[in-house]
């Protein structure tokens, strides 16, 4: 299902409440969000600012969707609109995030468009990833701050969100380790379906997985094996 360029077209439908996104995110969202259009999702966005994204997301999902928005600025509570709930708190406050998730989660989609500092993005991710449903999306906007020292980043800075996400690529592949001590099987291998790196935007898809299977099919007869996970000292894929 396509969004019919819902997100790009929304720019023409904004009201006095300013929407604040990078231009190309709209195309990413139009490419990504089709399967969720009109669905009664449980959605969480960190970062309200002037409130422009509340109506964008509300009108995109089903009227039955549960839409939660967080911001540290108490003034944002006044930007709540029907069909949304704004909660005031700090995205690094684990107890606040857990309470929000207990009362409003689990979530199908989480968007982190909050303060964009490394500790904020990492604490929110670590706390909220377990609150994401199987099949759900965790989206972190403005990850160019991973390259900005003022936000705790820098080029290949240890502890930046981009470096953390790059590391998750390895953890996702840790089924295939040949080094149990140095590169052990990581729990994210069972939970992370994909990571997409767009410019400034990272999309992590949660997918609760069984160990991967290689399949063969001949004359319509399908065979499966997990041998690839057991073979060590590989020199060839076959």
Ligand X SMILES: C[S@@+](CC[C@H](N)C(=O)[O-])C[C@H]1O[C@@H](n2cnc3c(N)ncnc32)[C@H](O)[C@@H]1O
The catalytic site residues sit at 116
Q: Which is nearer to ligand X, 86 or 192 (CB)?
A: 86
DSSP state of 23: H
Q: Which is nearer to ligand X, 96 or 183 (CB)?
A: 96
CA torsion sign for 123, 49, 203, 161 is negative
Q: How far is the CB of 179 from ligand X (least distance, A)?
A: 38
* Residue 180 binds ligand X, judged by CB under 6 A: no
Among 42, 91, 127, 160, binds ligand X (CB under 6 A): 91
* Residue 21 binds ligand X, judged by CB under 6 A: yes
Interface residues for ligand X in 106-145 (CB under 6 A)?
A: 113-115, 120
Between β-strands 192-198 and 201-206, what pairing exists: parallel, antiparallel or unpaired? Answer: antiparallel
Among residues 107, 209, 200, the alpha carbon closest in space to that of 162 is found at: 200
Whole-angstrom distance, CA of residue 72 vs CA of residue 48: 9
* Residue 72 binds ligand X, judged by CB under 6 A: yes
Segment contacting ligand X by CB under 6 A, of 65-73, 153-161, 188-196, 199-207: 65-73
Residues that bind ligand X (CB under 6 A): 19-21, 45-49, 52-53, 70-73, 90-92, 113-115, 120
């Amino acid at each position: 299902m396509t969004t019919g360029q819902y997100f790009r077209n929304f720019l023409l439908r904004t009201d006095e409440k300013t929407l604040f996104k990078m231009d190309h995110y709209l195309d990413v969202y139009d490419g990504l969000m089709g399967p969720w259009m009109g669905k009664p999702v449980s959605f969480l966005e960190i970062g309200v600012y002037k409130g422009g994204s509340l109506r964008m997301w509300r009108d995109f999902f089903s009227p039955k969707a549960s839409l939660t928005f967080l911001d540290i600025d108490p003034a944002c509570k006044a930007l709540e609109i029907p069909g949304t709930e704004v909660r005031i708190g700090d995205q690094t406050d684990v107890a606040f995030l857990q309470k929000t998730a207990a009362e409003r989660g689990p979530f199908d989609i989480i968007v982190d468009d909050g303060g964009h500092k490394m500790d904020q993005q990492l604490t929110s991710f670590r706390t909220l990833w377990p609150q994401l449903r199987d099949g759900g999306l965790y989206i972190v906007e403005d990850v160019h701050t991973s390259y900005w020292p003022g936000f705790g980043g820098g080029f290949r800075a240890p502890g930046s969100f981009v470096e953390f996400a790059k590391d998750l690529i390895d953890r996702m592949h840790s089924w295939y380790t040949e080094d149990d001590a140095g590169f052990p099987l990581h729990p994210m291998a069972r939970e992370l379906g994909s990571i997409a790196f767009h410019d400034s935007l990272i999309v992590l898809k949660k997918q609760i997985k069984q160990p991967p299977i290689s399949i063969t099919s001949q004359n319509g007869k399908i065979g499966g094996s997990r041998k690839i996970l057991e073979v060590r000292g590989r020199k060839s894929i076959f």
